[in-house]
Amino acid sequence: KAKSLHPCPVFVKVDENMLFGMGNPLLDISAVVDKDFLDKFGLKPNDQILAEDKHKALFDEIVKRNKVEYHAGGSTQNSVKIAQWMIQKPHKVATFFGCIGADHFGEILKKKAEEAHVDAHYYEQNEEPTGTCAACITGDNRSLVANLAAANCYKKEKHLDLDSNWELVKKAKVYYIAGFFLTVSPESILKVAKHASDNNKIFCMNLSAPFISQFFKEPLMMIMPYVDILFGNETEAATFAKELGFETDDIAEIAKKTQNLPKENTKRQRVVVFTQGKDDTVATVGDRVTMFPVLDIDQNNIVDTNGAGDAFVGGFLSALVQEQELEECIRAGHYAANVIIRRVGCTFPEKPDFH
């Protein structure tokens, strides 16, 4: 009997703590602003940066806007939350580690993680307040300014190394850490990445923002040999290529060269996935580079693109922990991103409608 090209995918049973994420837990403060506001603080319409002293006033000003919204954020936390939402049951498939302050914003993050059924284990300290991220929305652009504060205080020996926490790490089979965490605790990332590599488990990472490749290239390249799946968008891919002297601005070529960078666990060929907004997603499939068109959406239905990249990764990871083929993981990623851009921040309806 001829085998159908698209047999019904067999979903592997998922268990608690199968997906592990670690990163900067931030409370997103989101508001629609105008060009004058961006100019005043020297912001590009579409960017992610770390807050400097000159941005202190920005936080005071944005909260005074009439329509300000607060959402649990932080890139990695968004992604594992979306993955959990896509999976639905069981609860707590996703584990999350990060550092918060002992304060009101920290309580909000705990409550939001619980509502999303994510098994969050925060390292709580009272030196610094819970981190925030100002999402300055203009049209379908978003300029993100992160004030890491407490998120920057994550300590490997105070949290990750504790037996009860490390046991949760060992339970996972898929790991995801956004590049943003390289600015906080590269030694924590390395410990998790090595564990994944030594046990032939899947370690995923994200280029996250152009400034990571530019200013944190050393820790990024220290982790790269352990990366099984690398995510990024077209701007981040171009910056990464420039920093590594790839001498090409062809995204497929960049994906190929990135795939061929040195790798520790040779049992798994590295997969590179670059999203390009409304243009095709580029991914390495075996030795070829393939383009995957995104779902069509009317510009008028795009409310805010904040969290689109995180959502793509979350959808992708939800299929990955269920051991789906790469094409299926990308399809799930495209679906999740398509849902998120219709809403403010990285928020989602009660249940996914993904088949």
Q: Would you kindly state where each structural domain of the chain is located, as residue ranges? A: 19-26+73-130+148-341
C-alpha distances in Å from residue 292, one per residue of 231, 251, 281, 332, 334: 14, 13, 5, 12, 9
Average pLDDT over residues 292-311: 88
Q: What CA–CA distance (Å, rounded) separates 140 from 233?
A: 16
224-268: pLDDT as tens digits: 999 999 999 999 999 999 999 999 999 999 999 999 999 999 999
Q: Which regions of 23-147 does DSSP assign to beta strands (E)?
A: 26-32, 47-50, 69-73, 94-101, 119-125, 131-138, 141-147
104-120: pLDDT as tens digits: 999 999 999 999 999 99
269-280: pLDDT as tens digits: 999 999 999 999
Q: What is the mean pLDDT of the chain?
A: 93
Cβ-based burial of 141 (10 A; exposed 0-12, middle 13-18, buried ≥19): middle
Residue 306 three-state SS:
coil
29-53: pLDDT as tens digits: 989 999 999 999 999 999 889 999 9
> Which one-letter DSSP state was computed for residue 323?
T
- Active site includes 310? yes
Cβ-based burial of 111 (10 A; exposed 0-12, middle 13-18, buried ≥19): exposed
Residues with Cβ within 8 Å of 314's Cβ and at least 6 positions away in sequence, in order, are: 78, 79, 80, 81, 82, 83, 85, 86, 333, 336
Q: Is the CATH number 3.40.1190.20 carried by domain 19-26+73-130+148-341?
A: yes
Reference 69, options 348, 345, 350; nearest CA is 345
Question: Above 80 in pLDDT, residue 6?
Answer: no
Cβ pair 141, 48 in contact under 8 A: no
Query: Catalytic residue among 28, 47, 310, 353, which?
Result: 310
Average pLDDT over residues 164-182: 98
Instruction: Kindly report whether the peptide bond that precedes residue 25 is cis, defined as omega within 30 degrees of 0.
Output: no
pTM, 2 dp = 0.92
